[in-house]
């Protein structure tokens, strides 16, 4: 098997694993919502709910760390693939993403805007609102 084919296989494997870590992160977020709501509904002390959310947040951080390591290798493989066939580089998703990524303050603004998207605020804002509402109504 030639080098390009081997790199292509590695890229596909790494990319699939990268996406699996993203799905795992989503499942962790959904678990956080479910456990928080179940804890609120059952009258569990807010400290225990908070501890569970913090543990799940830490777990997501672990998966995101694995994902970042995969990203580093993906970028290396994409660079090697680009060298193999510079006129028609294939499998350049991560390299293109990195090239378009802003730096400094623009990156912080981009993160803040992303954090305000409904798909990101969903697991965290409802937990905070539910906890605040429960406290306001005297349920906690």
Structural domain including 96 reads: 3-136
pTM of the model: 0.65
Task: Judge whether 123 and 53 are in contact, CB under 8 Å.
Answer: no
Structural tokens at position 11: 């890229």
13 pLDDT band, cuts 50/70/90, is very high
Task: Judge whether 110 and 129 are in contact, CB under 8 Å.
Answer: no
Going along the chain, which residue ranges are E strands? none
Tens of pLDDT, residue by residue over 31-83, are 998 998 899 889 888 888 888 888 888 888 888 888 888 888 899 998 888 88
Q: Exposed, middle or buried by CB within 10 Å (0-12, 13-18, 19+), for 60?
A: buried
Q: How many domains does the chain have?
A: 1
pLDDT top residue among 22 and 40: 22
């Amino acid at each position: 098997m030639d080098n390009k084919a081997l790199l292509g296989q590695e890229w596909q494997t790494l990319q699939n694993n990268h996406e699996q870590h993203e799905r795992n992160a989503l499942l962790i977020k959904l678990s956080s919502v479910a456990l928080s709501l179940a804890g609120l509904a059952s009258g569990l002390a807010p400290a225990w709910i908070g501890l569970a959310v913090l543990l799940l947040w830490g777990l997501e951080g672990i998966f995101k760390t694995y994902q970042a390591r995969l990203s580093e290798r993906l970028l290396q493989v994409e660079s090697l693939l680009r060298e193999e066939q510079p006129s028609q580089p294939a499998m350049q998703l991560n390299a293109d993403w990195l090239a378009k990524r802003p730096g400094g303050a623009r990156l912080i603004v981009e993160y803040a805007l992303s954090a305000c998207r409904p798909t990101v605020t969903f697991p965290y804002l409802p937990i905070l609102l539910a906890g605040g509402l429960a406290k306001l109504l005297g349920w906690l």
